[in-house]
Amino acid sequence: MSLIVDLQITSGHVDWSHLRDTAQWADEQDFGALWIVDHLAGKSMGGEASFEAFSWLGALAASTSRIELGSLVLNVWNRSVGVSVVGAATVAAISGRRFWFGIGAGTSPSSSFAWEQNVVGAPIAERLEDRHDRVIEVLSLADRMWNSNVDDFDTFLQPPHRPVVILGVNSVRLATIAGNQADGVNIAWNHPRRQEFIDATLAACGSRRFELTTYLPWSPELEDPESRIRHEMEAVGISRLILLHAGVPPR
């Protein structure tokens, strides 16, 4: 399987009209999906502000026609578990396309990135195990809510295409959780333990279909299908490369 190349953009560096135009431009290119980040404020990504993720995704769903949409990653502490799952179904329903529901466990509350949650009164759990357990809650609720045979969720939105749940991981435990309960995993290509995480994920998921995805900052080299890095990714089973751009890419 050849590597699919996606694009990720961030808000806070340009206004909505530029983000919309970029999404429509990407819609006309060969990118498989357009991914966005989930921050409540701009400075974590070096910007001046940040759009709320699901509001932005809904606008992108209505502004594009072909390209799939994704989140990399939705912080499971920014919303209640139920709101996150219904939000993913909503984006899938508005777009009529597959939605890549990328989620993450959140950073340590002592990390510089946690200031967003602290200032709005949505603190992240202290214990790493509790942060991982929150991810399991999201995965479990999505599996039940999007199962038409479960009666508890009468009149909850059923997406026309079940979202693909991708778990961003930076530990063996999260990689194992992804392999057991998610549809795919996202691992930073430059992470020193990358292969360890890939191995743990594949050991847990067995023979079922599973998406191995990775990301790197955008560079001209990565647009070349014959680049050394892209061949290395394909060799270890990576199915999607997400090119991260701070703001919008040069046309």
What's the pLDDT score for residue 149? 82
What's the pLDDT score for residue 26? 95
Domain ranges of the chain: 4-244
Tell me how far CA of residue 95 lies from CA of 13, 62, 69, 99, 129, in angstroms.
25, 6, 8, 8, 35
Tell me how far CA of residue 144 lies from CA of 18, 88, 135, 180, in angstroms.
38, 14, 14, 15
Sign of the torsion angle spanned by Cα atoms 201, 202, 204, 210: positive
Q: Where are the alpha helices (DSSP H) in 154-222?
A: 172-181, 194-205
Alpha carbons 70 and 60: distance in angstroms, whole number: 10
Enumerate residue ranges in the chain where pLDDT < 70. 1, 247-251
Alpha carbons 73 and 138: distance in angstroms, whole number: 13
Q: Note the pLDDT tens digit of each residue in 81-134.
A: 999 999 999 999 999 999 999 999 999 988 888 999 999 998 899 999 999 999
CA neighbor of 179 nearest in space, from 146, 147, 212: 212
What's the pLDDT score for residue 208? 94
∠ CA(83), CA(156), CA(67), 5° rounding? Answer: 70
The fold for domain 4-244 equals TIM Barrel (3.20.20)
